[in-house]
Amino acid sequence: MAEYDVVVLGSGPGGYVAAIRAGQLGMKTAIVERDALGGICLNWGCIPSKALLRNAEVLSLINHSEEFGITVDGVKADFSRAIDRSRRVVDRLTRGVATLLRRNGVEHVVGTGSLTNATTIHVDGPEGTKALTADNVIVATGARQRDIPALAIDGETVITSREALALERAPKKAVIIGGGATGCEFAYMWRAYGTDVTIVELLPRLVPNGDEEISAQLERSFRRQGIQMATDAQVQGIAVNDGTAKVSILTKGENSILDADIVLVAVGVEGNTDKIGLETVGVEVDRSFIPIDDMMKTNVKGIYAIGDVTGKMLLAHVASAQGVTAVEHIAGLNPQPLDYAQIPSAIYCRPQVASFGMTEEQATEEGYTVKIGKFPLAASGKALALNEAEGMVKLVVDAEIGEVLGAHMIGAEVTELLGELGMTRLLEATTTELGWLVHPHPTISEALKEAALAAEGEAIHI
């Protein structure tokens, strides 16, 4: 008889959520973690970066206080204290995860786990080694920065987001390689603290997987903030000498050199699939990621995989949802398969960027006849009151039935609007229902109502 019903390898937002759900369902559960509970997201990703971004927002607000009729003299921004605050936030949350695991009867086993067969995990920990047996194993080991020869990371001058979140001072001059979520968030944060920032993006625009209009708006906003961008640019190499980097880039056939005291590499990840025994038990791995089915099952019976290690979508909320799906399947329940096309994504720079579902281009390629509903935040009373009038809400709508196929937003706190859009989709509502719904005034959420009305040619405030 197995010692556990479920053993989870890794305690990130997928792993710890899976373990807690298993405990709730009455299964004897253990979670194996060699580092701090919460994984990269909680300790060196989502949470500390958002704490630092909040610091940057406060600093930016103070620096623009004259616009509110408030004069502030002698502003002193201590970046090291911002880092300290972010670590306090992390510490509080990691202790919270430990409490939740205990409350749900989950055993926390400290150490590095590896599979010796489909039901046995060997754990090498600070108190020696031990073997755990389980009917089901959930691999939630996450992902890490991929080794790219042209972007050799030394951990001091050429760094990843992990090292960036521990810097005691903001760099004077930074080059950020990658114009996705991580690159944009660090660009905004460092710029707020006075860093001379350049983003280098291989594709033609920032946030290249998002809506083109939203990307253009973000680029305009970043230029106003003094953030420089090189798009359609390929990094040829990085030379480091005495703590200073020279980044060689090729842009539209022209070579140039960017100087920096910090280079942040924010592109390319690979799954943490090595040294955990997957090859021993025959779990399939494809280019460092573990293929899974709709219930998170691998090709080996009783072994599941969730989160970044699957390569599906590298988002914390996806990992958590996958964890719940896997456990409920193990428990004999009937969880609904995840619709990855409808997963929301959020970028927490200023202005924020939020998206959901298909872009206008994707919807057209899928064969839909599309209509668009837009509402500029310049027409939002709440946005104007906040002095945050840049941005818009854009809805991509099926012209035939009014179904919301996608939403793409940029502006103040637009990430908070994603929940309403998700519920709209879940309940199969259309622009008619979204336009009917009475929203509180004045709020940013009114922009959703107005965009829905705009799609039908009925907008009131534009």
CA Rg value for the chain: 23
Q: Biggest alpha carbon distance in the chain?
A: 71
- Cα–Cα distance measured from residue 211 to residue 204, given in angstroms and rounded to the nearest whole number: 13
Question: What pairing do the DSSP bridges indicate for beta strands 262-265 and 4-9?
Answer: unpaired
Residue 439 appears among annotated catalytic residues: no
- Cα–Cα distance measured from residue 243 to residue 78, given in angstroms and rounded to the nearest whole number: 22
64, 122, 441, 461: which one is catalytic?
A: 441
The distance of Cα 128 from the centroid of its chain, to the nearest Å, equals 35
404 close to 421: Cβ distance less than 8 angstroms: yes
410 close to 419: Cβ distance less than 8 angstroms: no
Both structure tokens of 206:
């920032």
366, amino acid identity: E
26 close to 330: Cβ distance less than 8 angstroms: no
- Cα–Cα distance measured from residue 202 to residue 231, given in angstroms and rounded to the nearest whole number: 6
Both structure tokens of 339:
């619709």
Which one-letter DSSP state was computed for residue 63?
H
Query: Could you give the 3-state DSSP secondary structure of residue 261?
Result: coil
- Cα–Cα distance measured from residue 156 to residue 245, given in angstroms and rounded to the nearest whole number: 11
266 close to 180: Cβ distance less than 8 angstroms: yes
Residues with a known catalytic role? 441
